[in-house]
Structure 1
């Protein structure tokens, strides 16, 4: 059964259920056990509305210690001013690309800035995952289409002049794996090092006739071109760049309709890559993204009983059966 919004709504109705669920997923730490500060008291989750807006904290049972730790300690949620249930629901809405005005109304968030910040947190996860799983594309016998495209809007909404940024990218035909990078210019000095960074030697590279690509054969690639001023497909070699062209259309459609800024284009492209690679074909997009968050934010788990003294094992066993204390 797919995880649907009704499931999330039921989980978020009770904060303790939500915390339990997030702990099971590895998105919140579990600090239950003997207190690290005093080595006497037992740390449990307790009601404490004075400590944070969550109303629940990890607290040592020893009155001499009484150390408190945020339920968000070490997690993706630490530092956010959103309620836990708001943050989880906002993540769900972001995964399914619901509009900002809908999110603001449903979660009763008055500031657009708060929503934008949380979306940027999500994109930071995308960046970390992309770095972790970074891989070169192509190789002998593989085909990679490359191209550059201008991202932005027409100056004053008139004519063909576009005020924006240049993005260089490539996509492997066989696997549909791709790369994108914002570039300052389209010179060979800029583009060739990027190609060598992302594309394996021996790859069959297909491109238009832009002069910056003229040295690709000497760099160890097979290079086929198509002259777009004459034809869409080279009649002799069959070379075309239809796949990268359609990818540009998909990327541009994925961008926010308003508020896109030049300095954020890298993050938008990274988000597109993660959605394409991990979420598009996932059985459940939301749960898949939560797994990606867990890979980036490894929360502390309960220490094993074997590490505790015999006198403290009874306290640990009691704590493991009753994590919450009023």
Structure 2
């Protein structure tokens, strides 16, 4: 993939901003793209600059984008995005591309999971609804202390699954009390839903919040003998999948669990079943990191006709502080005319 063609693609598809037009600082000069005369690793570097001699405002090409605050080239970041979307192990990317340090891989995979968390907050879609059944349960994630005994050192996770759509929600909780679980259930599940759970005492008042609440006593049986459709087998199988494939077996900090669950839910809701998972994820990035311009509110920017700039790489670690802004995706960002 040619570097110039790739950066052009990012520019014209809205992943890199267009800051051409009247400068927002001086309201006199025109902001245009400039070549800085440097070359790093064979890539030319550009920036936006106001042409008014008393202003000379300079704007990074990565400003307000997903690539901001990183000295990696956009092409290198794109490689890491592909690795995240298609579930390439980090050690595989590290062995294939020696230029990526292990902490760089960890950071960018975390940034991609942050996108997943933000999208769920933006859409705030509730599962269930009239005629739908949602199974709920809680489970402990962790491991036995010194691999001995039954006590598990980990975190409690509260979750549910819609039997009809297979959509899910998961939330790390400190306590399994009704004061903790019921508000989460109200936040993620439609009120006209039938809820099925076990007989945990915190669930006794669910019937006041939802259309119907059915229970199965797990101390006696796993399926209600009076109604064979009343069981929690679907959510129990989800716990098995999450513990086996979603949460890494080693090195996962407790405060990171929510981001892994968000990653799982976003893949199920937005990526799986899409024509191209990479295009689908780039659209999500567009929504979380919309691009601003330097134009004044009363001025219309000049049309930018020159090709998009190349982005210079750098060896340093990307910053962990990332700016997130909620917005709708650009109408023309269909990502349909470029081969990955």
Same fold (TM over 0.5): yes
Local SS of the residue matching 1:80 = coil
Displacement after TM superposition at 1:67 (Å): 3.5
2:221 counterpart of 1:231: yes
Distance in 2 (CA, whole Å) between partners of 1:177 and 1:30 is: 37
Aligned to 2:127: 137
1:260 aligns with 2:248: no
Residue in 2 that maps onto 1:27: 15
SS in 2 for 1:224: strand
**Count of aligned pairs:** 305
Q: Which has the higher contact order (CA 8 A, sep 6+)?
A: 2
- Show CA shifts across 1:55-80 (max 9, x none): 22223455665433211011111102
Q: Equivalents in 2 of 1:156, 1:142: separation in Å?
A: 42
C-alpha offsets along residues 7-26 of structure 1, whole Å, 9 cap, x if unaligned? Answer: xxx1xx32x22221111221
> Which TM-score applies when normalising by structure 2?
0.80
Structure 1 residues 283 and 159, CA gap change in structure 2 (3 angstroms): farther
Give the aligned partner of residue 177 of structure 1: 167
> By how many angstroms is 1:244 displaced?
0.7
Aligned to 1:236, the other structure's residue is in SS state coil
Deviation at 1:47, TM superposition (A): 4.3
Matched, 1:240 2:225: no
Determine which of 90, 96, 101 is the counterpart of 1:111. Answer: 101
For 1:31, what is the secondary structure of its paired residue?
coil
Is the Cα–Cα contact under 8 Å of residues 33 and 44 in structure 1 kept in the other structure?
no
Q: CA RMSD in A?
A: 2.9
> For the residues of structure 1 that align with 2:164 and 2:34, how far apart are their CA atoms?
51
Cα distance in structure 1, aligned partners of 2:60 and 2:40: 8
Question: Quick check: 1:73 aligned with 2:73?
Answer: no
Partner of 1:320, secondary structure, is coil
Cα distance in 2, alignment partners of residues 65 and 141 from structure 1: 63
Q: Which residue of 2 aligns with 1:46?
A: 35
Answer with 222-231 or 93-102: which moved more.
222-231
Paired with 1:41 and 1:110, the residues of 2 have a C-alpha distance of 38
Residues 72/227 of structure 1: CA separation in 2 closer, same or farther (3 Å cut): same
Structure 2, unmatched stretches of 5+, are 311-340
**Equivalent residue of 2:175, what SS?**
coil
How far apart are the structure 1 equivalents of 2:309 and 2:73? 19
Partner of 2:276: 284
Gaps of 5+ in 1: 1-9
- The 3 A distance-change label for structure 1 pair 59 and 51 is farther
Distance in 2 (CA, whole Å) between partners of 1:188 and 1:302 is 49
Deviates more, 1:106-115 or 1:94-103: 106-115
Distance in 2, matches of 1:51 and 1:79, equals 17
Quick check: which has more Rg, 1 or 2? 1
